[in-house]
């Protein structure tokens, strides 16, 4: 097919994909994605929070896949015991989304960035993954089949923490309190990034 040049804006509701075609099989592979619908969705134990904001994106450039999850903690509850799950008060399904190989790739690294210091609830926040999606606010993350990804410690504006662990395929992401403060967050914006590749 010949190249096409547009002089005006090109619009698509579903985003754009750049593909390559295998010379041997004729199969198409996606090498880059621009826009489109988010493929990572949080549970009701996050999205039902009053004034809580959750947004996510998955972008692909060549063989690199970057998943970004941004959360405004406002309206979510801290926990009464260290290492308990953060979410809507007493709610289940407090996960930040499921990470799959098909969508997010095989994860090589996880990074946590504080965009606004938490207030109200505890500022000591960690990131976990778990096999189960049913984790409940103010319940220990250890009740799930879990892995510590990022030991965030006290979150302050601009702090960046590189995780020591990565989620296995099909696991769900959670935020937990590193220490106990059973109170409602009035501020706190976090960006969680996962860097993956096609295995």
Residue at 23 is within a domain: no
Q: Label residue 7 by pLDDT band (50, 70, 90).
A: confident
Residue at 33 is within a domain: no
Residue at 31 is within a domain: no
Residue at 27 is within a domain: no
pLDDT at 10 over 80: no
pTM equals 0.86
| Count: domains in the chain | 1
Residue at 6 is within a domain: no
Residue at 9 is within a domain: no
pLDDT at 26: 81
Report the C-alpha gap between 46 and 68 in whole angstroms: 16
Residue at 190 is within a domain: yes
Q: Which domain holds residue 166?
A: 38-57+65-197
Q: What is the pLDDT of residues 37-58, one digit of tens each?
A: 557 999 999 999 999 999 999 9
Residue at 99 is within a domain: yes
Give, in order, the Cα–Cα distances in Å from 94 to each of 7, 86, 91, 133, 163. Answer: 46, 7, 7, 8, 20
When pLDDT is averaged across residues 19-40 and rounded to a whole number, the result is 72
What is the β-pairing status of strands 125-130 and 146-150?
antiparallel
């Amino acid at each position: 097919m010949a190249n096409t040049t547009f002089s005006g804006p090109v619009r698509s509701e579903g985003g754009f994909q750049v593909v390559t075609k295998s010379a041997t099989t004729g199969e198409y592979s996606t090498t880059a994605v621009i826009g489109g619908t988010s493929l990572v969705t949080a549970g009701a134990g996050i999205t039902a929070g009053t004034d809580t904001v959750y947004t996510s994106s998955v972008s692909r450039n060549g063989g690199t896949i970057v998943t970004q999850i941004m959360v405004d903690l406002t309206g979510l509850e801290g926990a009464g015991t260290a290492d308990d799950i953060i979410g809507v008060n007493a709610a289940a399904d407090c996960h930040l989304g499921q990470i799959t190989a098909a969508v997010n790739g095989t994860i090589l690294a996880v990074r946590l960035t504080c965009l606004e210091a938490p207030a109200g609830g505890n500022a000591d926040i960690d990131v976990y993954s778990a096999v189960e999606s049913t984790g409940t606010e103010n319940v220990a993350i250890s009740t799930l089949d879990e892995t510590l990804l990022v030991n965030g410690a006290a979150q302050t504006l601009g702090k960046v923490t590189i995780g020591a662990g990565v989620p296995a395929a099909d696991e769900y992401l959670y935020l937990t309190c590193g220490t106990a403060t059973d109170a409602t967050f009035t501020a706190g914006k976090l960006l969680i990034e996962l860097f993956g590749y096609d295995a």
